[in-house]
Structure 1
Amino acid sequence: MWRFAVQASLVPGTSFREQFELLARWGYDGIEVSGADLLHHTGELRQAMQESPVTVTSACAGFEGWLVDRNPRARNLAIAQIKAMLAAGAELATAGLISPAAYGIDSRGVLPPYRSAFTLEEDRALLIDSLRQIVESAERTGGTLLLEPLNRYVDRVLNSLEEAVSVIEEIGSPVIRLIPDFFHMNIEEADIAASLRRHAAHIGHVHLSDSNRLLPGRGHIDFASGFAALRDAGYDGAFAIECRVTGDPEELLPQALAFLRRAASQTPATGP
């Protein structure tokens, strides 16, 4: 059975224990924390999990620098912190730590006349080198890195699922997996369901957000067809909501879960 989670930053509460209690009351299965939480609040998270049916499904970023950071010191810092976070995540049995290639360094061909001083090939080579260093550590300590392609406006290295999968296949290690994000796919994928079906074997986790970066059900994305593709492909992992909440989360987050469970139970029409 699929598990639905929410990023911790969206959940009210002054402690993880309070957040776990709220999520359990609303019917959620998990919480997505930051990578920094894995390092600095491991004991608190473990205790909260022991007292609740809610689990830590995943961790999102929370490290300094990026995998394709052009500043060598920043890139090395990101690699070192990711290694430590993966080991901590393995202790809590999370699906993994989420990382894009980069965020906000460059966009892809959408801000003329600005042009990067680096080629895509150079950036990709830098990404491969970073990932190989992480793999060498993670295969010993445990943990999975979830590679997230972002839309062209915030990252130029990996935009589509296909581009991310090409990197994952080149690395060739089970500790690097794919995390699709419905918001980014709405921009980059011609057919979300088809892309999910095509690359399902590499998927380790899924991010949920609607077309306007609001909660699922408040935009125009067809979640039912995407869920059907994942179900048909045998996906049995977790989903985490990552979005903006414009209103009372104690009202809106339960509504979002009800919407997602309805969408997950639907079989979309195949044609007229």
Structure 2
Amino acid sequence: MEIGMFTSGYQRNSLKEVFKDGKRFGYDFIELWGARPHGYPFDLKDGSIDEIKELIQRYEIPIKGYTPEMNAYPYNMMIGTESMRKDSIDYIKLSMDMAKELGAEFTLISAGHAGYKATTKEIWDRLIKCIKEIADYAEKIQHTVVLEPLTPYESNVVTTANDLAQVFRMVSSPYLVGMCDVVAPYVQYESIMTYFDKLGDKMYHMHIVDSDGSSDNHIMPKEGKMPLKELIMELKEINYDKTMTIELVTSYINEPSLYSRRAITNLKSLLTD
């Protein structure tokens, strides 16, 4: 299993520090958060992508995933007017272009909250319309798109393995796959391992952290309530050999270096038990 570093928690630090820490702490790859000051796709298009390519070469650590911010202001494909929806889709397409140019294996997307008044039909009609456009573009440029379920605290659209499986039944594309952020199933009493049963070869990537069981907080591995040791044992038993990112977001933003070191130390201790 390859372990990735997510860069959102470093948003008050330079991207150089991200690469330096990723290398010295033993991360296998970086999952780049697509927002300022580091990886906003419009900034990348305007030339900052060259600086990131130089960091990749200097520190010999790849960017395997690119995760554009798309659940809040200003981009959420699931809410607002048709013009806003189209703008969000264009943003995702640009993100995919930039991810491919960076050498990333995938762009990771999610479906933000659709608003409290949206009906189930309205939500799914809009979701599938968006996903079809994204999948068609992924096929055009031959780049993988990973759809991530969110927690119910964050969204009312795709939040479970069943939701993902339904998307894949409705949109068939070899470039559209899914993943599991372990917090999402844990906080809604869904079995994490059923993602593998329900998604099969569409199960592509994981976000690994710990959880308090009652919020969308992403907690340091081994410091929450999740049975992470046993989860890792299960992953070993099914020979999971794909990527997992330690998705520390903003809870540890004051000292990202200290906590990034602690996070991978904790996770590796579980992997070697």
TM category, shorter: 0.7 to 0.9
Q: 1:258 aligns with which of 265, 268, 271?
A: 265
In the TM superposition, residue 247 of structure 1 has moved relative to its aligned partner by: 6.1
Indicate if the aligned counterparts of 2:9 and 2:253 stay in contact, CA closer than 8 A: no
Aligned to 2:215: none
Within the alignment, does 1:217 sit opposite 2:194 as a pair? Answer: no
Unmatched tracts of structure 1, length 5 or more = 107-115, 267-272
Give the secondary-structure state (helix, strand or coil) at the position aligned to 1:256: helix
Q: 1:136 to 1:198 in 2, by over 3 A?
A: closer
Q: Distance in 2 between matches of 1:209 and 1:150?
A: 14
Residue 102 (structure 2) aligns with: 92
2:155 is aligned with 1:155: yes
Task: Check if 1:75 corresponds to 2:80.
Answer: no
Tell me the alpha carbon deviations over residues 137-190 of structure 1, each in whole angstroms, 9 at most, x when there is no partner: 221113222111112222111111121121023211122111211111211243
Match of 2:244 in 1: 239
Shift of 1:246: 6.9
After TM superposition, give the deviation of residue 74 of structure 1 in Å.
1.6
Structure-2 change in CA distance of 1:247 and 1:79 (3 Å)? closer
132-141 or 200-209: bigger deviation: 200-209
Query: Aligned equivalents of 1:133 and 1:246: distance in 2?
Result: 35
Match of 1:174, SS?
coil
Please give the alpha-carbon distance, in whole angstroms, between the structure 1 residues aligned to 2:56 and 2:253. Answer: 28
Alignment gaps of 5+ in structure 2: 213-217
- Determine helix, strand or coil for the equivalent of 2:195: helix
Tell me the TM-score normalised to structure 2 length.
0.83
3-state SS in 2 of match to 1:31: strand
Alignment of 1:1-272 (within 5 A): 2-11=1-10, 14-36=13-35, 37=39, 39=41, 40=44, 41-63=48-70, 64-103=74-113, 105-106=114-115, 116-212=116-212, 213-243=218-248, 244-245=251-252, 248-266=255-273
Percent of residue pairs identical: 21
Letter in 2 for 1:153: Y
1:12-60 residue CA offsets vs partner (Å, 9 max, x unmatched): 8853233211211111122221235163132122111111232112122
Counterpart CA distance in 2 for 1:139 and 1:119 is: 30
CA distance in 2, matches of 1:95, 1:229: 25
Secondary structure, in 3 states, of the residue corresponding to 2:180?
A: coil
AA paired with 1:88? M
Contact 2:67 2:107 in 1 (8 A): yes
Q: TM-score, normalised by structure 1?
A: 0.84
1:89-131 CA distances to partner (integer Å, 9 max, x unpaired)? 122232322222114x44xxxxxxxxx3321122111111111
Q: How many residues align?
A: 255
**3-state SS of paired residue (1:117):** coil
The verdict on how the C-alpha distance between 1:178 and 1:34 changes in structure 2, with shifts beyond 3 A counting, is same
Give the residue type in structure 2 aligned to 1:25. R
Contact 1:95–1:205 (8 Å) recurs in 2:
no
CA distance in structure 2 between the aligned counterparts of 1:218 and 1:171, rounded to whole angstroms: 38
Q: How far apart, in 1, do the equivalents of 2:235 and 2:121 lie?
A: 31
**Counterpart secondary structure, 1:94:** coil
Distance 2:15 2:118 in 1: 42
In 2, the alpha carbon distance for the partners of 1:196 and 1:153 equals 23
How far, CA to CA, are the matches of 1:165 and 1:134 in structure 2? 17
Q: Given that residues 93 and 134 in structure 2 are in contact (C-alpha distance below 8 angstroms), is that contact kept between their aligned partners in structure 1?
A: yes
